[in-house]
Amino acid sequence: MSELTHMRADGSAHMVDVTEKPESTRTAVAEGIVRTRADVVARIFEADLPKGDALPVARIAGIMGAKKTPEIIPLCHPLPLGGISVDFERLADGIRIEAAVKTRGTTGVEMEALTAVSCAALTIIDMIKAVDKLAVIEGVRVLGKSGGTSGDWSVS
């Protein structure tokens, strides 16, 4: 177990000490999809839902989620987030959500990007549940990251 960074030799969990790591600019991009019916997609993009205009609300929820990540994910470091964007792409059967998060620090922002996407997706589900009780969230994943000692990577 000593090879796992969040585990002590006795098996108990702890927060990794990153104080000696060098600071660098770090970014992460994540995505997720809310699958729903085509008529519901149209209503979302026309801002014609019983609860109101879903996309601006979901964008704010995503931004707030990224900022609150260390409060809801155990052992996640609080970071000074320098930039957060949450964008939406219309699909025939849903909405693709993409979040990008940036910081200058000693640890990455992958969890913040994933949390932003998840919070935005959950908000869309909440905003459309009156018109589609069967909508689902799928494919939440990190698309790539940059900065830090482990280097840059992306799905291609």
In degrees and rounded to multiples of 5, residue 142 shows phi and psi of -80, 130
Cβ atoms within 10 Å of 37's Cβ, excluding its own? 15
Residue type, 88: F
Take residue 84 and report the two structure tokens written for it: 């957060």
**DSSP code for 152:** -
Catalytically active residues are 126
Nearest to 110 by CA among 56, 69, 53, 155: 69
* Cα–Cα distance for residue pair 108/38, rounded to 1 Å: 36
